[in-house]
């Protein structure tokens, strides 16, 4: 049955009469629509409940964090930062469940903004880094451990390694025999890659409120390409600053697409790394601990390793999590991430030096 988007939108306390609703954006998890009313515009989303099992906790995290940020910037906001504003449903909740049990929510539409799928120059990388750094800085005093895990063990490297090794044992898709090189790559780095995990367990680095999906298209820019808002807050939960910095470096600096078959095209662009890092540390260097700063560069390898490992594990499991376009798609994706790690390893001394010079 086709969803009546007008009816869904009208179940929220929007201003004016709904005039039009149409698909909007390029997100891969939730379905997004722009809502036009006689008075203003909104963003309507259907939340993917296959990925996000606990909508109430997810919503609570998001509302608490956005309310906190809104209060902080209400009297002092020289950079004209924006914060997502969630609209209540007619029943008073921040989400609405339809007759098909789909879960919907509505935000104010942030006008005169734009987003990018790639960091095409160092200015965008700098602004992206500055915006994500601002997010970390502003939530420095927020009690991270009071938030729920919207995706349990999302960036837990021990959990990901265990899943990988279980997939090797089961070999349900009969693919282990063709990935020995990738298996060796993982096992050669498996001990080292737990560094940040271990620091956290030993309380040597603090738990923070982290975004956990720091792609460039989760930053909105104004007409002058200044970063103004962090969006897509479904994965906001307790974590380490390394999760946000590392995943941003993985996605901002790759010179190729995530499923590039020609690995010679894959590398980490050091200039984009430098620009993002400068923007990020401009906002965060005063609040980060020494143990966090000294391991920031390493976090780029960690987060790239985790996503590569997840692609490889899904390939071994028979492609049950990620959508694929051909049988080797997940393997291609894993190989891109592993090649990106090799590029980071080749440039690691320079990565560390850049951070040292900025702090």
Residue by residue, pLDDT tens for the chain (359 residues) are: 457 999 999 999 999 999 999 999 766 678 899 999 999 999 999 998 888 889 999 999 999 999 999 999 998 888 899 999 999 999 999 999 998 899 999 999 999 999 999 999 999 999 999 999 999 999 999 999 999 999 999 999 999 999 999 999 999 999 999 999 999 999 999 999 999 999 999 999 999 999 999 999 999 999 999 999 999 999 999 999 999 999 999 999 999 999 999 999 999 999 999 999 999 999 999 999 999 999 999 999 999 999 999 999 999 999 998 889 999 999 999 999 999 999 999 999 999 999 999 99
Q: By the 8 A CB rule, do 299 and 243 touch?
A: yes
CA dihedral (267, 270, 272, 277) positive or negative: positive
In terms of pTM, does the model score above 0.75? Answer: yes
Q: What does the alpha-carbon distance between residue 105 and residue 162 come to, in Å, rounded to a whole number?
A: 35
Alpha-carbon torsion angle 78, 82, 83, 85, nearest 10: 130
The pair of structure tokens assigned to 279 is 């923007």
**222: Cβ contacts below 8 Å, ≥ 6 apart:** 80, 112, 113, 114, 228
Tokens 């049955």 identify what position? 1
Query: Considering the domain 5-108 in this protein, what is its CATH number?
Result: 3.30.200.20
Q: By the 8 A CB rule, do 221 and 227 touch?
A: yes
Widest pairwise Cα distance in the chain:
61
Between 3.30.530.20, 3.30.1330.120, 3.90.1200.10, 2.40.10.120, what CATH number should domain 122-358 receive?
3.90.1200.10
Q: By the 8 A CB rule, do 232 and 125 touch?
A: no
Alpha-carbon torsion angle 227, 229, 234, 238, nearest 10: 80
The count of C-alpha atoms lying within 13 angstroms of the C-alpha of 45, restricted to the half-sphere facing its C-beta, is 25
Question: At 96, phi and psi to the nearest 5?
Answer: -130, 135
Give the number of other Cβ atoms within 10 Å of residue 302's Cβ: 26
User: Where exactly are the structural domains of the chain?
Assistant: 5-108, 122-358
Q: What does the alpha-carbon distance between residue 240 and residue 224 come to, in Å, rounded to a whole number?
A: 31
């Amino acid at each position: 049955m086709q969803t009546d988007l007008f009816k869904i939108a009208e179940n929220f306390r929007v201003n004016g009469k709904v005039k039009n609703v149409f698909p909007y954006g390029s997100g891969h998890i939730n379905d997004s629509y722009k809502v036009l009313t006689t008075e203003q515009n909104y963003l309507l989303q259907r939340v993917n409940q296959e990925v996000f099992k606990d909508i109430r906790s997810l919503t609570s995290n998001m509302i608490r964090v956005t309310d906190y940020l809104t209060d902080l910037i209400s009297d002092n906001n020289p950079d004209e930062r924006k914060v997502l504003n969630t609209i209540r449903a007619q029943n008073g909740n921040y989400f609405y469940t339809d007759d098909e049990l789909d879960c919907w929510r509505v935000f104010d539409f942030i006008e005169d903004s734009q987003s990018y799928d790639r960091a095409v120059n160092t200015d965008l990388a700098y602004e992206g880094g500055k915006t994500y750094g601002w997010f970390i800085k502003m939530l420095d005093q927020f009690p991270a451990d009071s938030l729920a895990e919207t995706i349990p063990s999302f960036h837990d490297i021990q959990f990901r390694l265990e899943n990988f090794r279980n997939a090797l044992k089961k070999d349900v898709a009969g693919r282990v025999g063709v990935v020995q090189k990738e298996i060796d790559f993982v096992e050669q780095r498996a001990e080292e890659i737990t560094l940040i995990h271990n620091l956290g367990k030993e309380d040597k680095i603090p738990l923070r409120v982290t975004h956990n999906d720091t792609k460039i298209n989760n930053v909105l820019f104004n007409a002058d390409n200044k970063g103004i808002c962090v969006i897509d807050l479904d994965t906001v939960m307790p974590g380490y600053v390394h999760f946000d910095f590392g995943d941003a470096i993985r996605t901002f600096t790759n010179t190729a697409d995530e499923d590039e078959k020609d690995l010679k095209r894959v590398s980490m662009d050091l200039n984009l790394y430098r620009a993002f890092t400068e923007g990020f540390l401009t906002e965060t260097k005063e609040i980060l601990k020494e143990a966090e700063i000294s391991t920031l560069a390493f976090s780029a390898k960690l987060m790239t390793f985790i996503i590569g490992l997840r692609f490889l594990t899904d390939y071994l499991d028979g492609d049950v999590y990620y959508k694929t376009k051909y049988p080797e798609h997940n393997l291609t994706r894993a190989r891109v991430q592993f090649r990106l790690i090799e590029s980071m390893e080749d440039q690691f001394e320079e990565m560390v030096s850049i951070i040292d010079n900025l702090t």
